[in-house]
Every structure is written in C-alpha cells, then in structure tokens.
Structure 1
C-alpha cells in the first residue's frame, strides 16, 4: 500500500459518499450505513499501514504537495454531508444503533485526519475555503 493507492481509494470513497443524495431519496439508512462501513474498513487498513510500516515514511515524504491532505478534507466534507442526510433519514428509535456506529466512525476519521496532519503540510484543520473541519 502506498500514497497513490490511498489517494485512489479516497477518491473512490469520496465519489461514493457524494452519491448519497440517491440514498436519501430511497430513504434507506441501511444503504448509507453499508457505504460508511465500507469506508471505515478501507480507512482503518490505511491507518494501520501508515502507523506500523516503516516503509510508509518514504510515502509520507513523497506527498510533498499534500494531495492526500486535500483528499482527506474533501472526504471529511462528504462525511459531514452524509451525516446530515443520515440525521434527516433517522427519526425512528429503531435506527439508534446504526446512528451510533456512524458517529463512532466520524470520530475515527477525525483522529485519522489529525494523524496525517503532521506531515501533510496542514498547520490547522481549516481548509482553503476557511471552513473549520473539526472543533477540537
């Protein structure tokens, strides 16, 4: 696994999350949850690689233009939109467990972003549009 593979996966996930308008029309929170769980699995694989593999240090340095950081920001924004859609779709107590899973995943994404932040040339969690991505 390397930076290029991670960029490819994040692009794919961002596109998938960007299609959630269709899911919202279907009013099926389980479809959204399935997509989020797929993203969670891929992201956790990547995080494990970057935390544990000494070879990842070279990949970290290769991302000098912060392509990965920019992608993470877009991914996080799509997750935020997904959460808003999910909140609109879930007004029924029977979906409380699914909502909790989604929120836990979002929390993990925050930690992922902060983990990458140190070497992605991002000094803060504010993107170029001035939007603050996370409140610490």
Structure 2
C-alpha cells in the first residue's frame, strides 16, 4: 500500500503557514495537540534542516469512532500536517490523504461519514492556511 500524500503549495513562509493553520484549527472545533519545529530540533543537535514544522491536531469526536471501528487507526491519529520548505525555497503543506486510513486499517462502512468530514475539513483548512 502506498500512502497518498496531498501537497498544497503555500504563498507564505513555513512559520506563517503553520501559524495560520493553528489559528484556523481552534475555531473549527478541533484542537492542536502538538506543534513540533523539526528544524529547531535539528539545530539543537548540530544539524541543518530547512524550515519544517509538524502540527498534530484533531478531536476525539472524529478520531474515536475510527478507533472504535479499528483500534489500530490510533497509530495515524490525531491528524498531522507537515509544513516545510523545499530546496527551491517553496513552501508546502503536506498531509496523508485520509483515504489511507481506510485502506491501511481496513475501516468499515461505519467510518465513511467521519472520513468524508475529515477529508473535506482538512482540505479546507489546508487551502485556507496556505492562502488567507
């Protein structure tokens, strides 16, 4: 199985894109569980890494039904978005398409409505974080 990655180009810097996404998450009824600055962690270890931040977010009302269907879905929850700068100084917001959860964890029909909501919601948040 190949995870399907969704990459959205951003018109902003990594930090501004991550800030925008974080600000959009809370009013959407979701929570930011963690924000990890991989570049800062690399620098602390004496290593270079282009700007790279990971936001981990979600809500138990969305993730719990998926784990009730197949508890192993918890390996991929909460949802994650990676905001990073490529070698050409272009910024991307990348996330694993929610469809990979269905395939990877053999989620059943009971998860379909939650998955549809997640797919639409994450696409909307990503697009707005990269533009607005």
Q: Which TM class, normalised by the smaller chain length?
A: 0.3 to 0.5
What TM-score do the two structures reach when normalised by structure 1? 0.34
More strand, by proportion: 2
Q: Which has the higher helix share?
A: 1
